[in-house]
Amino acid sequence: MSDPLASAFPEESEVSFAEIYSTLCLNDELILTLDPISLESVKTGLKNYKAKLAKKMKDEGLVPDSSTLAFVEYPSKEFKGCICLKIILEKKGTFIIKKMEIPEKLDD
């Protein structure tokens, strides 16, 4: 028999900034649902983790990831009182296009 209160509360998991960043690198974006109290600390912690990782890579003579983190917040439709934080790994100096063409050269 299932507990009726169990479905009233979301399952919670603890994740590290390393786990979040690794998932983000593999998928370019992800959405976390969290308590609004945690929002700023998650954003700051993830930025700090990425900066620390970049410094470590530079110190080891490697090229660090040049992408930036972008955040979009909106209320969760699934869990009342929670916030969805969409995290996007954006490549610097890039944009999305539909098509690129090189015109044919006319011979004179």
- 57: tokens are 């890579």
Within 8 A by CB and 6+ apart from 44, the residues are none
Give the model's pLDDT for residue 2. Answer: 44
For the chain, 108 residues long, give each residue's pLDDT as a single digit of tens: 444 434 444 577 888 999 999 999 999 999 999 999 999 999 999 999 999 999 999 999 998 888 999 999 999 999 899 999 999 998 877 777 888 888 888 776
Give the model's pLDDT for residue 97. Answer: 82
Hey, where are the domains in the chain? 14-90
Give the model's pLDDT for residue 10. Answer: 53
Give the model's pLDDT for residue 108. Answer: 60
Query: Which one-letter amino acid corresponds to residue 67?
Result: S
> Whole-angstrom Cα distance, residue 107 to residue 61?
48
